[in-house]
Structure 1
Amino acid sequence: MMIITVGNTKGGVGKTTLAVSLAIARALAGRDVWLIDGDRQGTAQTAISIRAENGVSPGIACATYPDGPTLRSQVQQQASKFDDIIIDAGGRDSTALRAALVLSDVLLVPFAPRSYDVWALGDMAALVDEARSVRDGLRSVAVLNLADPGGNSVDNDEAAAAVADVPQFEYLATPIRRRKAFANATGAGLSVQEMKPMDKKATAELSALEKALF
């Protein structure tokens, strides 16, 4: 069983889209998945509700716990029922994010190719240090999200260099580019793997990220 938190204290970096996409990808691979929405906005829960209303299979178990102590106790009680747990932690330093970090095997930090997103990695690094003082073995990875769809390697190179300056993180060379397919899929409660017609580039990017994480 693996617990992954998709988190960043910076908002607008595409955390929910990645969390929903990964949860569905794991379910499509035959895993029992629990998606936890740790954000008061409840966007991940909304996406999964739309999926359920449309009768899309496989169904995804989803719960909303924006409160840290509740999130912690529920995960501790229910974790053994699932193969994978994916937690979407809100875009700020919250009790839910802190609780999730102590519970997780992996922290995935998406960041956009903009300087102020890279600076936010420093905030996350401090939270990683704090979590590791309580729990050994937290793997912390950063991935470039919402990257230029033109394949501009300069963005990727600069992102990799920026992450190299933050020793708490491992840089995953599996960027997710800014593609309409991701937003359209999440809005319908789907993964890009399920969209018709399929965006092969988006699907390949998600598959590469999933493989790097799991």
Structure 2
Amino acid sequence: MIVAIVNQHGNADRSIVARNLAVLRARSGRKVCLAMTGLWHGGYLWGEARSAARIRPWLDVRSLGTRAVGDRLAGLRRLFNDIVVDAGARDTEECRRVLGAARVIVVPARGGEVDLVGQYTLARRLNAARALNPEVRILFVAVCAVSDAEPDNEAALLAHVHRVGTARLAPVRLHEPGAYAYGEGRCVCDAETCDPELADEMHALYREVYAQPVARLRRPLLGVAQPGLAG
């Protein structure tokens, strides 16, 4: 399963969400790859620090590069149960490839940072991914300061969500996930005793992202016996 995290600003929220989702997924016993678009990314340093400190669960951190991204993803899918991709903030070909291949797209967004140009640029990318793969789930998640409860920010974020067909806003709200230092190679989900409330928010987002959609049951035809319904 491929989960892509993308946003329209170069803040730390995207990378922090990607790392926590990868850690929680690996903790469930799955073989997980944390991948990034582009040739260089701060996630490498984070992954190296995590390995050096022998922090568990261990994560395989890789780059998708800038060419043949589709082939690289196909190769990783044969090696891992799950791939969590930090797809960046720029509208690049590799980002579009990742979004088109994802099962779930997560968009961390701050209402106060939403601008019209950025909204339409990101909405185009997300709608293009949905056109390519109608089954993709697009999930926005609000990121805010601990004291931030301004209704104008919430309204701006909801308007952003509504520009993307079938997208929805996650019920969980993340409070400044990138503002805290947990040590080299660590994230909030490695430090739950320090910030249990923030860790709970990440756990809630994880459950939203990896929730299995319930298939709609077909109504049985009248007068026709259905397998498993007899008796």
- Tell me whether the two structures share a fold, i.e. TM-score over 0.5: yes
Q: CA deviation at 1:197?
A: 4.1
The aligned residue for residue 143 of structure 1 is 141
| Deviation string, structure 1 residues 90-116 (Cα, Å, up to 9, x no partner) | 221112211101110111111112143
TM-score by length of structure 2 reads: 0.81
The aligned residue for residue 61 of structure 2 is 62
SS of residue matched to 1:142: strand
The aligned residue for residue 23 of structure 1 is 22
The aligned residue for residue 42 of structure 1 is 41
Identity %: 22
Matched, 1:210 2:206: yes
Gaps of 5+ in 2: 211-231
**Which residues of 2 match residues 1-214 of structure 1 at below 5 A?**
2-12=1-11, 14-67=13-66, 69-116=67-114, 120-145=118-143, 147-150=144-147, 152=149, 154=151, 157-168=154-165, 169-179=167-177, 183-185=180-182, 188-195=184-191, 197-214=193-210
Q: CA deviation at 1:40?
A: 4.3
- Aligned CA distance change for structure 1 residues 127 and 163 (closer, same or farther; 3 Å): same
Give the whole-Å Cα distance in 2 for the aligned partners of 1:156 and 1:200: 26
Q: Please say if residues 3 and 86 of structure 1, whose CA atoms lie closer than 8 Å, have aligned partners that are also in contact.
A: yes
Matched residue type, 1:149: V
SS of residue matched to 2:55: coil
| Deviation string, structure 1 residues 138-184 (Cα, Å, up to 9, x no partner) | 21111112x0212626367435532453242211121111156x641
Matched residue type, 1:161: L
SS of residue matched to 1:210: helix
Give the whole-Å Cα distance in 2 for the aligned partners of 1:50 and 1:117: 35
Q: Which moved more, 1:29-38 or 1:8-17?
A: 8-17
Give the whole-Å Cα distance in 1 for the aligned partners of 2:130 and 2:189: 34
TM-score by length of structure 1 reads: 0.86
Give the whole-Å Cα distance in 1 for the aligned partners of 2:39 and 2:180: 20
Structure (1/2) with the larger helix percentage: 1
Whose Rg is larger?
2
SS of residue matched to 1:63: strand
SS of residue matched to 1:176: strand
Q: Please say if residues 109 and 157 of structure 2, whose CA atoms lie closer than 8 Å, have aligned partners that are also in contact.
A: no
Give the whole-Å Cα distance in 2 for the aligned partners of 1:149 and 1:161: 19
Q: Please say if residues 158 and 169 of structure 2, whose CA atoms lie closer than 8 Å, have aligned partners that are also in contact.
A: no
Q: CA deviation at 1:198?
A: 2.2
Gaps of 5+ in 1: none
Q: CA RMSD in A?
A: 2.3
Q: Please say if residues 48 and 62 of structure 1, whose CA atoms lie closer than 8 Å, have aligned partners that are also in contact.
A: yes
